[in-house]
Amino acid sequence: MKPYVLDNLADETVDRFRALETCYDGATRDFLRQTGVESGWRCLEIGAGGGSVGLWLSETVGPGGGVTVTDIEDIRLDSALADRANVSFVRHDIVNDALPEAEFDLIHARLVLILLPERLEVLRKLVRALRPGGWLVLEDFDCGWTPVLMTPNEGDAALYETVHARFLAAMTDSGADVLWARKSFAAFVAAGLTEIASSTFGMAWRGGSVGASLHRANTSQLADQIVGGDVTREMLERFWRLLDDPAFAVGSYPLVSVRGRRPLVSVPSDRSSR
Ligand SMILES: C[S@@+](CC[C@H](N)C(=O)[O-])C[C@H]1O[C@@H](n2cnc3c(N)ncnc32)[C@H](O)[C@@H]1O
């Protein structure tokens, strides 16, 4: 397994989690509600990051339910999670560490499988960890559609696209599949899940907005990998100024949410490996 390049120890993580939670938690909660998650459910929240979704699940399932919250690092977890009696935090690597079988009513991971070269094996592991009838919900960015919507100056769209492409290349080098989200529906079918449904959420990010700050946090953290080839340090700094300029706007990463249910009767098998 390759190390996680946007590791949570870096200072930029605070801004990244704030942007993710501000921009996407509403869509995530709406999608999770469609599973019927309610009081008493046992949930697993993987790669919890700041922990806002784990906190919402904990409130939703109440004292009769429980949420196991995992991450390979717990450095940025919301301290409110620690106070919740129905939450247990486990430091856990979803690629290499074991999960209990047939345990959970709901398993959720946002922006985790996109990072992992072993994502299909992980998906099968998650299916086995569901109790029959339990729901798997995966959410990832489709990084292939982030159109520039408005620019202050000619040439700014090309600047955005050049620097952003270098960021995506750095992520790809680290093992991410930046287009995994558009393959996840088919992977749910191949894993034998039922009642599969998907929706995609996007918005405009204007310069200076919390959404635009996600690009700033990510490209600052990976600046050393981004600068080189067709991107100079001066271009990266112009890109950052663009992200602060209200005359600039770009489409957010579309968040693709997919859900599917472990069949009640038989253990699902991976049809893609036959
Ligand atoms: C992009 S962040 C997303 C955080 C959160 N899920 C959200 O959407 O706000 C990815 C998270 O996955 C965690 N992660 C990366 N590799 C992991 C692994 N192998 N097992 C568990 N968590 C992992 C990281 O530490 C990080 O917190």
Tokens of 196: 């599969």
17 falls within a domain: yes
What pLDDT is attached to residue 120? 98
Residue nearest to atom 1 of ligand 1 (CA): 111
Mutate to test the pocket of ligand 1, among 22, 24, 72 (most ligand atoms within 8 A of CB): 72
Nearest-angstrom CA–CA distance, 238 and 1: 34
3 falls within a domain: no
65 falls within a domain: yes
Tally of structural domains, the chain: 1
Query: Which residue type is seen at 258?
Result: V
Residue nearest to atom 24 of ligand 1 (CA): 47
Residue 19 Cβ < 6 Å to ligand 1: no
Tokens of 184: 């996840």
Residue nearest to atom 4 of ligand 1 (CA): 49
1 falls within a domain: no
Could you list the residue range(s) of the whole structural domain that residue 257 is in?
12-263
Residue 260's SS3 state is strand
Residue 112 Cβ < 6 Å to ligand 1: yes
What pLDDT is attached to residue 82? 85
Cα distances (angstroms) measured from residue 188 to each of 39, 65, 87, 185, 262 = 26, 26, 27, 5, 10
270 falls within a domain: no
Per-residue pLDDT of the chain (274 residues; tens, 9 = 90+): 667 778 887 888 889 999 999 999 999 999 999 999 999 999 999 999 999 999 999 999 999 999 999 999 877 788 888 889 999 999 999 999 999 999 999 999 999 999 999 999 999 999 999 999 999 999 999 999 999 999 999 999 999 999 999 999 999 999 999 999 999 999 999 999 999 999 999 999 999 999 999 999 999 999 999 999 899 999 999 999 999 999 999 999 999 999 999 999 765 555 544 3
What pLDDT is attached to residue 267? 52
Nearest-angstrom CA–CA distance, 138 and 110: 6
Single pTM value for the model: 0.95
* Residue 258's CATH number: 3.40.50.150
What pLDDT is attached to residue 272? 45
4 falls within a domain: no
Residue 141 Cβ < 6 Å to ligand 1: no
Residue 8 Cβ < 6 Å to ligand 1: yes
What pLDDT is attached to residue 80? 87
What pLDDT is attached to residue 274? 36
User: What is the 48 CA–ligand 1 centroid distance (Å)?
Assistant: 6
User: What is the 257 CA–ligand 1 centroid distance (Å)?
Assistant: 16
| Region for 113 from its dihedrals, namely left if φ exceeds 0, alpha if ψ lies in -120 to 50, beta otherwise | alpha
Residue 126 Cβ < 6 Å to ligand 1: no
